[in-house]
Amino acid sequence: MDQLLRKNEELSAILQVSQVLTSSFDLEKNLYSAMAILAGRLAMQRGCVFLLDSLSRELNIVAAYGLTREEIQRGKYRIGEGIVGQVIETGQPMFIPNIGAEPKFLNKTASRPQKSGVSFLCMPIAMDGKTLGVISVDGIYDPRQGSVDDDLRVLSIVASFIAQYVLLWENFRQTEDECGHLRLQLEEKYSLPNIIGESAPFQQVLKLVRKVAATDTGVLLLGESGTGKELIAHTLHYQSRRARQPYVAVNLAALPENLIEAELFGVEKGAYTGATGRRIGRFEMADQGTIFLDEIGELPLSLQVKLLRVLQERSFERIGSSDSLTVNVRVVAATNRNLMEEVAKGTFREDLYWRLNVVPIVLPPLRERADDIPLLVDFYLEKFNRLHGRGVCIAPSVVNCLKIYAWPGNVRELANTMERLVIMSDREMVTEVDLPANILCPGRGGNGSGTHCTSTPADLVDQVQELERRQIIEALKTSGGVQQHASRILGITPRQLGYRIRKYDIDLHRI
């Protein structure tokens, strides 16, 4: 009967140890709990987990049951020293029936004033041929409670559990360190001093960002496409107290209308045919952090009510579920549309507009901050030279021409232009003859001859818009009026194409 009870206690101890070691990544706490379980279930008086320090090559006690703090600090062994050191050296377990009669038992912790009659078991903690440490226990050995082989078997199982746990813990700690390092890099990258722009209009933007970044208030970023709205959204997040929480970006213009709700709010298993599992939405992903809703003007009217509720009540339901979910999310939205005009047309809810527009930040187009162009040119020149292994320089006359150009694509167009110049230039010095045709000033030939540009920025904007209108018409003709096909030709989404068709008042029937 005693043997049966002993077996039950062994199984219970193994189960409890496995549960403790899978409860968290608190190394010392969980290993101490494992030792306490062995002591309580199997009448072991003391238990220690030693781990090998990879730098000092010493065995140190990381967790111990039945020892004082001072005794734990004394428990250090070199490889080969004492019983503990021999076990780590040989990788083989050892059993000492009576430590009082064993000269190799050093008792470095001085936790056993009366050694006589105390038995000692020591088992290596190893996995895949790598010895990580040892586990030791001692107590009064009683043959009536089972053989020493039983104790060694239980200790071997526990040691294998601990080996797996320690390796997982080391991987977790390494991953956490890497994430922390990357997070610091992001915080530095998106810090205000690293945002390029000294012109008065852009400094006004940075002033607003400084004021609002530390708050949880909603922000609406306004401005033309390519002015850096996503950069500012990143900066608002990484300079806030939510910086260590998720940052989730959603480009609403890039999503098909019938998938936007599922992307934002998630889907419950079985909500519709093909929903074979629960899908987490972007708002859930961003809980405690920031969600960036780019192209908010593209949000369908039918979903604007649901978004309004999230902003007001911080709750929503997944598709196919009636259970409300609560999230704590900061919302930063962006658009290149005039939302007040959309409100007047009835395509955008006025209550949602005012809820989003708590703090509006208008990003100036590049043509209104021409003084920043030389700084941006230097930045992108260094970036793309490093990326492509080049050493290209820009002639001052080229920088002057770049300052005159209207940049309808704003900073994004400037970045693309600089990368193209770095890649395509056959010489170390980029001159005006290397500039793309759309940037060359009117009257200049391909050989660089001609007069300097005298067109105003407004004239150039009109010219670019007329060029864009002609390209859209040509793409629609090529595709036979099929907007899906035309959008692929132009490299934009169908929704963006639809917006431009309305903007330029293109008559589809005539095409």
pLDDT in tens, 406-463: 898 899 899 999 999 999 888 889 888 888 877 875 444 333 333 344 445 555 566 6
The percentage of the chain sitting over the pLDDT mark of 90, rounded to a whole number, equals 25
Chain length of the chain: 511
* Domain residue limits, the chain: 2-173, 190-364, 367-454, 458-503
Phi, psi of 278 (to 5 degrees): -70, 140
Q: Which of 464, 465, 488, 493 is nearest to 475 (CA)?
A: 488
DSSP 278-345: -B--HHHHTTTSEEEEETGGGS-HHHHHHHHHHHHHSEEE-BT---EEE---EEEEEESS-HHHHHHH
Residue 452's pLDDT is what? 43
Average pLDDT over residues 327-355: 93
Phi, psi of 67 (to 5 degrees): -125, 145
Assigned fold of 458-503: Arc Repressor Mutant, subunit A (1.10.10)
Residue 302: is its pLDDT beyond 50? Answer: yes
> Does the domain made of 2-173 have the CATH classification 3.30.450.40?
yes
Stated as kind and residue range, the H or E segment containing 476 is helix 457-478
Cα–Cα distance for residue pair 264/42, rounded to 1 Å:
53
Q: Which of 219-228, 320-329, 359-368, 480-489 has the lowest mean pLDDT?
A: 480-489
pLDDT higher at 241 or 141: 241
Rounded to the nearest integer, the mean pLDDT of the chain is 82
Residue 443's pLDDT is what? 40
Structure tokens, 14: 């193994």
Average pLDDT over residues 241-249: 91
Number of Cβ within a 10 Å radius of residue 56: 10
* CB proximity list for 323: less than 8 A, separation 6 or greater: 317
Number of Cβ within a 10 Å radius of residue 35: 26
Taking only the tens place, the pLDDT of each residue in 156-211 is 898 999 999 989 888 888 887 777 666 666 555 555 556 888 888 888 988 899 89
pTM above 0.85, yes or no: no
Residue with token string 């500039």 = 435
Q: Which of 109, 117, 147 is nearest to 7 (CA)?
A: 147
CATH class belonging to 190-364: alpha beta
Strand pairing partners for 138? 46, 120
**Cα separation of the two ends of the chain:** 94
Q: Do domains 190-364 and 367-454 have the same CATH topology?
A: no
* CB proximity list for 163: less than 8 A, separation 6 or greater: 125, 126, 127, 132
Instruction: With cut-offs at 50, 70 and 90, classify the pLDDT of residue 350.
Output: very high
Question: What is the chain's alpha carbon radius of gyration, rounded to the nearest angstrom?
Answer: 34
> Does the domain made of 367-454 have the CATH classification 1.10.8.60?
yes
Taking only the tens place, the pLDDT of each residue in 35-94 is 888 887 776 777 889 998 878 888 888 888 878 888 887 878 888 888 888 888 888 888
